[in-house]
Chains A and B, each alone.
Chain A
């Protein structure tokens, strides 16, 4: 059993053992879950330390037969891209647990159920990034909807059951389209090389153009719903508003990355020709997402809605970077996924604290927080600045790479995309001004600043945002070789010499 499988199985094991803890003692349960998830995070850091950067093939591979009748294997492994996403997921989970210590109370069900769902979800998040068997990936991809569905529907606020069902149905619809494509590629592999779900073998298939286009669309629509791309995005704002801040962090920070990750891992790798055919369309959708998300964000009165729409804009950038088919664009998109994960986490967590203190999520209810709660205000400020890609913070590097990478091939798209950065300044700075500065609005005078636990939770996120802004090299070193390989395998070469090596 490889270290990877061990790390993936650990949360599930932890979820099983929770059964033996006393239900009444919720503090013990929380401490236990924090310990388990921290252990997983440490494990994944070891995973990264033992990762050989010079090799672009899968590492920590393991393959066991699962359903032999269809040649389905429990096959896992990581390359640079999946490794950083696993790191992102496993580091975010303990932070979320610590930051939202009391989120599990006041739900429809008990504290235990909440953490069982979180732990099961963590196993699936690791699994979905680690799977190298298409069927196994699909199982994780679909099955992870269920814990999220119960997390939103059982512990959320507002119209939580409506949002939960919308989320589930959108995702299921996409997933089932993908299932048709998976069946298609499986049958084609059976006709050509013997039925298999192994990704490397599937990439060698020769599929006629028409079929390839249809199969590609099945995958792409599923991923475009997941990493909400205009016009498949409408579930996200509802889900983000209804979910608890912690769930939202996992939803936007990690789960939606499965969509963009899937585009890279499956759409590009399995269907390079179809990817080429659809690139103009996808770039257009991405640009629309960037601008549309930004405009909608400017108009939001609700903090959660604001963060949701900024994410739609950011996912536009990521998709644009992926389909620009240049190594900078690809590296940028991959880095963006990580950075967006952390900056969204920071935004949502601080916003969550603001909302739980003020008992409101309306932006105009806040004001002058800088004076009342300086630490919370500064955290929100830094998170916001990262969201608008201020140079020196992590998002800037990735946004820059994406734009440079896109410009070399699609200059018009890149120029319009740049407009998104200008709009980002608006949608971040206006709310910051409204909530943090100015006179303290009525009802805010007695808000408490962050306590020690919350400071401990947000500190690592802020640290990562700042450090990655100045020194992204360790992560880029992991990402770059794999990104180049993907672009080359898809049959593209960079239009101009690389600039940032």
Chain B
């Protein structure tokens, strides 16, 4: 007689809540009248995320950690990463709720009569909310998955909605659709690589669980293990846009609707780095001599290329895309560190970077002219004179990206570099600070454009943000600022939560 395996619903509940809300969202989309759809969808999304956060709080001290027949491990670090995703998603959903960023009807061909009609009738489709929730749920699953199949499923669950969301921009729709297609094609390749690597790892270890792979290390010809690690890494490095798998990032960041860019930039990083940290810390730690040199080189290349190429960018979204590449390089130092400090530092860095990114893209969404968002930096000139508060906040966020002391970015950098130094990777630290110095140049150049140059007579202006955007940007900025001055608030938490359980 078959007995049903115990799944550990308590541990899975934070994810299940979000998945359930996503399914309900689909139903709302199908059966709800048009008039109230958007409000209901937003309420459901926020409610589900809050509930999920509450649930995460309640399970934070549970002694059992494995659930769903050992395919996920909800350990301390896992809970922290999930909470980070949910918190960032809560802030992002308020940006996403500003519907006028999204196309009225995604199926209408750009420039067609159908599109014009949809716009005229104000028939705003709200499928973004369920898509968003599916992505969030996938992102919550990714960093806690402990076998290769679950990892792959999670990867796809959060990637597919993102491919779609990237193509839903209301303005510059062709650019947006091109971005979506590019993201999808390259993403599909990356997934294929991941799967291929997973097959090799299974062939080597005879198991798909990370713990099993770790235990099998050294039992057979290591070439297969190496091939497996390399291909799995390709899939993961693509998601965090590490060099040389970064080429999609600027195009997608630029083409996607800005709130989606914000969400993607912040939350995908958390989820993907969470998974990377778990895979390398648990699955591959025993064979660190195999992969450490490779990841170190990739980290160095990523930091340098991201910082250097960002200098040449004339579009603020592309610039932040390259900046996110550079930050991926800094974060990889935490992976290479392979110690508890590295994990704690990465957790802090992800939260701080995510908040700053959300706020920065939130502000980019406010700068517009009559035809929509203006991301050309040359037209940002003198913005600080027209709207000093928005200019000042953006300048503060840029300083945080640059890692100037008294910002959260600085504490993150300090934590992650000291972990890397501790593990003996001094080359990484030196490259890291040099890359930071290069990166400072383009952040500060933007501040100069915004503040120190007189506005040219141009119709660019900062729109009055809606209450939702205002809350979102304010909350993200305030938390980021507080973390800069009193980082202990979060550092003490990350220190307690920086444990992976095998």
Q: Which residues of A contact B385 (CB under 8 A)?
A: 108
Partner of A153, one of B406, B430, B434, B451: B451
Q: Tell me if B387 is interfacial: C-beta within 8 Å of chain A.
A: no
Q: Tell me if A68 is interfacial: C-beta within 8 Å of chain B.
A: yes
Q: Which residues of A contact B406 (CB under 8 A)?
A: 139, 143
Q: Which residues of B contact A172 (CB under 8 A)?
A: 402, 404, 437, 440
Most chain A beta carbons < 10 A, residue from B402, B411, B444: B444
Partner of B452, one of A70, A154, A173, A177: A154
Partner of B433, one of A143, A161, A164, A180: A180
Q: Which residues of A contact B417 (CB under 8 A)?
A: 179-180, 183
A69 touches B492 (CB 8 A): yes
Query: Which residues of chain A from 166 to 185 have any CB-CB distance to chain B below 8 Å in the complex?
Result: 168-169, 172-173, 176-177, 179-180, 183-184
Q: Which residues of A contact B453 (CB under 8 A)?
A: 161
Q: How many residues of A contact B (CB 8 A)?
A: 35
Complex interface bits, A131-148 against B, C-beta within 8 A gives 1, otherwise 0: 000000011111101100
What are 9 A-B pairs at a CB distance below 8 A? A67-B411, A68-B488, A69-B494, A154-B452, A161-B448, A172-B440, A183-B429, A184-B429, A190-B422
Decide: A180 near B429, CB < 8 A? Known: A69-B491, A187-B418: yes
Q: Which residues of B contact A150 (CB under 8 A)?
A: 451
Partner of A138, one of B405, B434, B445, B448: B405
A67 touches B440 (CB 8 A): no
Q: Which residues of A contact B388 (CB under 8 A)?
A: 109
Q: Which residues of A contact B415 (CB under 8 A)?
A: 69-70
Q: Tell me if A390 is interfacial: C-beta within 8 Å of chain B.
A: no
**Majority-rule SS of B interface residues:** helix
Q: Which 3 A-B pairs have the closest CB atoms?
A: A69-B491, A161-B452, A139-B405
Decide: A176 near B436, CB < 8 A? Known: A138-B405, A154-B451, A169-B441: yes
Partner of A67, one of B426, B433, B448, B487: B487
Complex interface bits, B437-449 against A, C-beta within 8 A gives 1, otherwise 0: 1001100110010
Decide: A183 near B492, CB < 8 A? Known: A153-B448, A172-B437: no
Q: Tell me if B202 is interfacial: C-beta within 8 Å of chain A.
A: no
**Majority-rule SS of A interface residues:** helix
Q: Tell me if B224 is interfacial: C-beta within 8 Å of chain A.
A: no
Decide: A183 near B441, CB < 8 A? Known: A68-B488, A68-B492, A153-B448: no
Query: Which residues of chain A from 239 to 289 have any CB-CB distance to chain B below 8 Å in the complex?
Result: none
A168 touches B444 (CB 8 A): yes
How far is it, in angstroms, between the C-alpha of A68 and the C-alpha of B444 when the chains are bound?
Answer: 31
B440 touches A187 (CB 8 A): no
Q: Distance (Å) between the CB of B327 and the closest chain A CB?
A: 15
How far is it, in angstroms, between the C-alpha of A146 and the C-alpha of B417 when the chains are bound?
Answer: 23
Q: Tell me if B315 is interfacial: C-beta within 8 Å of chain A.
A: no
Q: Which residues of A contact B492 (CB under 8 A)?
A: 68-69
How far is it, in angstroms, between the C-alpha of A353 and the C-alpha of B120 when the chains are bound?
Answer: 65
Q: Tell me if A203 is interfacial: C-beta within 8 Å of chain B.
A: no
How far is it, in angstroms, between the C-alpha of A66 and the C-alpha of B494 when the chains are bound?
Answer: 16
The chain A residue with its CB closest to the CB of B406 is: A143
Q: Tell me if B286 is interfacial: C-beta within 8 Å of chain A.
A: no
Decide: A69 near B488, CB < 8 A? Known: A146-B404, A186-B418: yes
Q: Which residues of A contact B488 (CB under 8 A)?
A: 66-69
Q: Tell me if A426 is interfacial: C-beta within 8 Å of chain B.
A: no
Q: Tell me if A233 is interfacial: C-beta within 8 Å of chain B.
A: no
Decide: A108 near B411, CB < 8 A? Known: A69-B491, A142-B404: no
Q: Distance (Å) between the CB of A408 and the closest chain B CB?
A: 38
Query: Which residues of chain A from 49 to 71 have any CB-CB distance to chain B below 8 Å in the complex?
Result: 66-70
Query: Which residues of chain B from 469 to 502 have any CB-CB distance to chain A below 8 Å in the complex?
Result: 487-488, 491-492, 494-495
B405 touches A143 (CB 8 A): yes
Q: Distance (Å) between the CB of B453 and the closest chain A CB?
A: 7
Q: Which residues of A contact B426 (CB under 8 A)?
A: 184
Q: Which residues of A contact B491 (CB under 8 A)?
A: 67-70
B451 touches A177 (CB 8 A): no
Q: Tell me if B399 is interfacial: C-beta within 8 Å of chain A.
A: yes
How far is it, in angstroms, between the C-alpha of A365 and the C-alpha of B248 when the chains are bound?
Answer: 59
Q: Which residues of A contact B437 (CB under 8 A)?
A: 169, 172-173, 176-177
Most chain A beta carbons < 10 A, residue from B385, B414, B487: B414
How far is it, in angstroms, between the C-alpha of A140 and the C-alpha of B410 when the chains are bound?
Answer: 13
Partner of B448, one of A141, A143, A165, A179: A165
Q: Which residues of B contact A140 (CB under 8 A)?
A: 405
Q: Tell me if B245 is interfacial: C-beta within 8 Å of chain A.
A: no
Q: Which residues of B contact A145 (CB under 8 A)?
A: 404
Q: Tell me if B196 is interfacial: C-beta within 8 Å of chain A.
A: no
How far is it, in angstroms, between the C-alpha of A115 and the C-alpha of B406 when the chains are bound?
Answer: 21
A180 touches B430 (CB 8 A): yes
How far is it, in angstroms, between the C-alpha of A3 and the C-alpha of B491 when the chains are bound?
Answer: 30
Q: Which residues of A contact B433 (CB under 8 A)?
A: 176-177, 179-180
Q: Which residues of B contact A138 (CB under 8 A)?
A: 405
How far is it, in angstroms, between the C-alpha of A108 and the C-alpha of B451 when the chains are bound?
Answer: 9
B487 touches A183 (CB 8 A): no
How far is it, in angstroms, between the C-alpha of A187 and the C-alpha of B494 when the chains are bound?
Answer: 19
How far is it, in angstroms, between the C-alpha of A150 and the C-alpha of B452 when the chains are bound?
Answer: 9
Q: Which residues of A contact B421 (CB under 8 A)?
A: 183-184, 187
Beyond A67-B411, A69-B488, A139-B405, 19 additional contacts (C-beta under 8 Å) are A66-B488, A68-B488, A68-B491, A69-B494, A70-B415, A108-B451, A108-B452, A109-B388, A153-B448, A154-B451, A165-B448, A168-B440, A169-B444, A176-B433, A176-B436, A179-B417, A180-B417, A183-B414, A187-B422
How far is it, in angstroms, between the C-alpha of A173 and the C-alpha of B403 when the chains are bound?
Answer: 12
Q: Tell me if A314 is interfacial: C-beta within 8 Å of chain B.
A: no
The chain A residue with its CB closest to the CB of B407 is: A143
Q: Distance (Å) between the CB of B42 and the closest chain A CB?
A: 36
Q: Which residues of B contact A173 (CB under 8 A)?
A: 437
Q: Which residues of B contact A165 (CB under 8 A)?
A: 444-445, 448
Q: Which residues of A contact B495 (CB under 8 A)?
A: 69
Decide: A164 near B452, CB < 8 A? Known: A143-B406, A176-B434, A183-B421: yes
Q: Which residues of B contact A68 (CB under 8 A)?
A: 488, 491-492
Complex interface bits, B348-359 against A, C-beta within 8 A gives 1, otherwise 0: 000000000000
How far is it, in angstroms, between the C-alpha of A161 and the C-alpha of B432 when the chains are bound?
Answer: 27
Q: Which residues of B contact A109 (CB under 8 A)?
A: 388
Q: Which residues of A contact B448 (CB under 8 A)?
A: 153, 161, 164-165
B418 touches A160 (CB 8 A): no
How far is it, in angstroms, between the C-alpha of A184 and the C-alpha of B424 when the chains are bound?
Answer: 10
Q: Which residues of B contact A141 (CB under 8 A)?
A: 405
How far is it, in angstroms, between the C-alpha of A235 and the C-alpha of B357 when the chains are bound?
Answer: 32
Q: Distance (Å) between the CB of A206 and the closest chain B CB?
A: 18
The chain B residue with its CB closest to the CB of A110 is: B388
Most chain A beta carbons < 10 A, residue from B418, B441, B452: B452
Partner of B405, one of A69, A142, A169, A177: A142
The chain B residue with its CB closest to the CB of A138 is: B405
Q: Which residues of B contact A160 (CB under 8 A)?
A: 452
How far is it, in angstroms, between the C-alpha of A177 and the C-alpha of B415 when the chains are bound?
Answer: 16
The chain A residue with its CB closest to the CB of B344 is: A69
How far is it, in angstroms, between the C-alpha of A168 and the C-alpha of B491 when the chains are bound?
Answer: 29
How far is it, in angstroms, between the C-alpha of A109 and the C-alpha of B389 when the chains are bound?
Answer: 13
Q: Which residues of B contact A179 (CB under 8 A)?
A: 414, 417, 433
Q: Distance (Å) between the CB of B490 and the closest chain A CB?
A: 9
Q: Distance (Å) between the CB of B438 and the closest chain A CB?
A: 9
